[in-house]
Chain A
Amino acid sequence: GAVVSQHPSWVICKSGTSVKIECRSLDFQATTMFWYRQFPKQSLMLMATSNEGSKATYEQGVEKDKFLINHASLTLSTLTVTSAHPEDSSFYICSAREARGSRWMGSPLHFGNGTRLTVT
C-alpha cells in the first residue's frame, strides 16, 4: 500500500531556532500534501495545503511566514517551523493523496508517522 514517510519522528530544539520536517510519498506521486498539527487530547487541525509547484494554501490563523512550506517535487514536501517557541511544541503530521485527478471521493489520505516537536 501507499506509504508516506515523515522525518524526523521527534525533535527537540531551543527557542528561536528553526526546524525542518520532511514528508515523502514513497510509492506514489502526490500533487497535494496536507500538514496537520495536533495538540495533546485534541484533534488534528489542518495548517496548510501544499501543492506541488505552487504556493501553499494556509488555513485561517496559521502564519505563513512562520510555517514555511515547500513542495518542490511530486514526492517531497517540507515544513519549516521558523523561530520556534515553546507554544509551537506539538505533534505535526503530514498526509498525502495520490495524483489521481481532482475527484478523489473515496481516496483516503495517507498519513506520515508524525513528528513530535518539543521547543525548550
Chain B
Amino acid sequence: QKEVEQNSGPLSVPEGAIASLNCTYSDRGSQSFFWYRQYSGKSPELIMFIYSNGDKEDGRFTAQLNKASQYVSLLIRDSQPSDSATYLCAVKNDYKLSFGAGTTVTVRA
C-alpha cells in the first residue's frame, strides 16, 4: 500500500467551478499535511498546510482534514485557467515528507 494515495486524474472542471481533490494516507501517526501545486517542468510550490481536524481556508483554497478517516482534501473555488496544474498531497511523518503521485487538474475556459 502506498503511503499517500491520490486520484491521478485528469480532473477537468469549467472555469468558475469548484475543483475537489482527495488524498488518503496510510500512517495513522502522520502529523502534518500539505498541498503543493506543480506546473509542468517546475518545482512544487506550497499552497497550504493543515494539521488539525476540520477545515482551513486560504483565499480560494480550502483544505479539509479527517484524521479518523486518514483523509485530506483540497477544494479550489472559482477555478481559473491558471489553476491548471498537478496538485501534490504530502504527508509528514517524523522528519520525512512523503508525496502522492499528484492529481492533474485542467480548468476549461
Specify whether A and B are partners: yes
Contact with B along A24-35 (1 / 0, CB 8 A): 000000001010
- Pairs A-B, 6 closest by C-beta atoms: A111-B43, A43-B101, A43-B99, A44-B99, A114-B43, A108-B46
By the criterion of a CB under 8 Å from any partner CB, how many residues of chain B are at the interface? 21
By the criterion of a CB under 8 Å from any partner CB, how many residues of chain A are at the interface? 20
7 cross-chain CB contacts under 8 A = A44-B99, A93-B44, A95-B97, A105-B51, A109-B97, A112-B43, A113-B43
B residues in contact (CB < 8 Å) with A: 31-32, 34, 41-46, 49, 51, 88, 92, 95-102
A residues in contact (CB < 8 Å) with B: 32, 34, 42-46, 49, 91, 93, 95, 105-106, 108-109, 111-114, 116
Given the contacts A105-B32, A113-B43, A46 and B98 also touching, CB distance less than 8 Å: yes
Cα distance, A106 to B63, chains bound together (Å)? 14
Measured CB to CB, the nearest residue on chain B to A111 is B43
